[in-house]
Amino acid sequence: MGAFRKELAFAGRIVMVGFGSIGQGTLPLLLRHIDLEPGQITIVTGDENGRKVAAEYGVEFHDSPLTPANYRALLEPRLARGDFLVNCSNDVSSVALIALCQERGALYIDTCIEPWAGGYTDASVTPEARSNYALREAALALKRPGTPTAILTHGANPGMVSHLVKEALLNIARDIGRPAEAPKDRAGWARLAQSLGIKSIHIAERDTQVAVPRKAPGEFVNTWSVEGFVGEGCQPAELGWGSHEKHFPADGRRHDHGCKAAIWLTRPGASTRVRTWTPLAGAIHGFLITHGESISLADYFTVGSGDSPDYRPTVHYAYHPSDDTVQSVHELAGRNWKLQDSHRIVKDEIVSGMDELGVLLMGHEKGAYWYGSRLSIEQARALCTHNSATSLQVTAPVVAGVIWALKNPARGVVDPDEMDYKAVLDFIRPYLGEVVGAYSDWTPLKDRGWLFEEDLDRDDPWQFKNFRVV
């Protein structure tokens, strides 16, 4: 513990909205790395979960669920110029909170752009309007020069993975004998990715953590927020759509507004599977769960614009959660996406396993390159109390984002891709366990076709149709 240092002093107030597994893991890191007193922090959350953790640190705790009717009355007295709202909640509108922070002169960070409760599954709202694309466009509409910094989606993914992609690009350039300095702007990063031939980027994750007791019938078990995972899993599958793609999905739909860097599919992400690869797990099937980085990375690395850019990689999440969570999702699907009556977030019950989370860049001279974090449950517990491997990969980037915002307080609304990747990675690296880069000759065509003929594009392995499990 003595190796960790205070990054800066903060004299204002911090309001934490939401205090589930991520909020509880973030609190000790805030107090470790920012010079402030527990009395400067207030927690406003939707239930009693976490009251003991708040009391352990002497932090004020309010069990007061935020709604469209009461959020201003509850938050306005607690937010003034220079204060900070750290949003770790579900079912609270990020856009509403950002607008409030702009009015009050307060800084802001979240890990996901959330709608109000029910917004993910509201049958009266079109699937496109429930997409992360639409949520991001609504948040970006609040961009105004000189307003207090509001960082969108800065956890593990979205968040940390945007910085890993940049470092991975520099590693690939170095390893193929074309070393490059870090580009100075967005256009430079996009040209670097284009020059390396990057066609597809997966956020490739395999969670092998095991908890006891194991999942019971009628129970949803997860290593992080159950409501958060089910909510995003029931959104349409979304992916950044690359300029190299030749086969538009039959169930794919384009957007007619905004950056047009992404498409959506007319099916839930939790029922859409894709092939991917991580160094320890090897070839796996993951869920194509919608995530903000699928859109922001594709947008950031675009050369040109619109539906037909000169260059853009295909980007999406490929998530193999813990085995008990996979079983929970299968059961959820059988219930026609009606959440089980019993649900459990496992943390202290975890007895083994790790979260292998990284970015898989494909199409360059060396084929495929995975770069990321391998963090075991034992390492996570030794590094910071009230964390699992999954949560620590989120909470460390949250605190890194808070520190970056305090040092850059007037940047307005920003995506993770617009931040200083090196400063963020330097801060979170001690919390990531083993940071690994691994090349592979894996492609989604490897060992395919021996059981039966499939409709594959064998001329270009990096076509999305080759990744998709049908």
What local confidence, expressed as pLDDT, does residue 450 receive?
Answer: 72
Peptide bond into 145 cis (omega under 30): no
- Strands 367-376 and 434-440 turn out to be antiparallel
CATH fold group of domain 160-388+432-469: Dihydrodipicolinate Reductase; domain 2 (3.30.360)
Q: Could you tell me the pTM of the whole model?
A: 0.97
For residue 453, give every residue at least 6 positions away whose Cβ sits within 8 Å of its Cβ, in sequence order, or none: none
Angle between helices 186-196 and 292-300 (to 10 degrees): 90
**pLDDT tens across 88-114, in order?**
999 999 999 999 999 999 999 999 999
Residue 273 near residue 326 (C-beta atoms within 8 A): no
Report in angstroms the alpha-carbon separations of 343 from 8, 56, 139, 323. 39, 25, 30, 15
DSSP element (H, E) containing 30: helix 21-33
Q: Which of 451, 450, 460, 456 is nearest to 470 (CA)?
A: 456
The domain spans of the chain are 8-151, 160-388+432-469
Architecture of domain 8-151: 3-Layer(aba) Sandwich (3.40)
For residue 40, give every residue at least 6 positions away whose Cβ sits within 8 Å of its Cβ, in sequence order, or none: 10, 12, 13, 14
Residue 333 near residue 305 (C-beta atoms within 8 A): no
DSSP state of 214: P
**pLDDT tens across 316-366, in order?**
999 999 999 999 999 999 999 999 999 999 999 999 999 999 999 999 999
pLDDT tens track, the chain, 470 positions: 446 889 999 999 999 999 999 999 999 999 999 999 999 999 999 989 899 999 999 999 999 999 999 999 999 999 999 999 999 999 999 999 999 999 999 999 999 999 999 888 888 889 999 999 999 999 999 999 899 999 999 999 999 999 999 999 999 999 999 998 999 999 999 999 999 999 999 999 999 999 999 999 999 999 999 999 999 999 999 999 999 999 999 999 999 999 999 999 999 999 999 999 999 999 999 999 999 999 999 999 999 988 899 999 999 999 999 999 999 999 999 999 999 999 999 999 999 999 999 999 999 999 999 999 999 999 999 999 999 999 999 999 999 999 999 999 999 999 999 999 999 999 999 999 999 999 999 999 999 877 776 789 999 999 999 999 98
Residue 309 near residue 243 (C-beta atoms within 8 A): yes
Residue 165 near residue 361 (C-beta atoms within 8 A): yes
Which tokens go with 8?
Answer: 């800066």
For residue 22, give every residue at least 6 positions away whose Cβ sits within 8 Å of its Cβ, in sequence order, or none: 88, 111, 155, 224, 225, 391, 394, 395, 398
Domains 8-151 and 160-388+432-469 share a fold: no
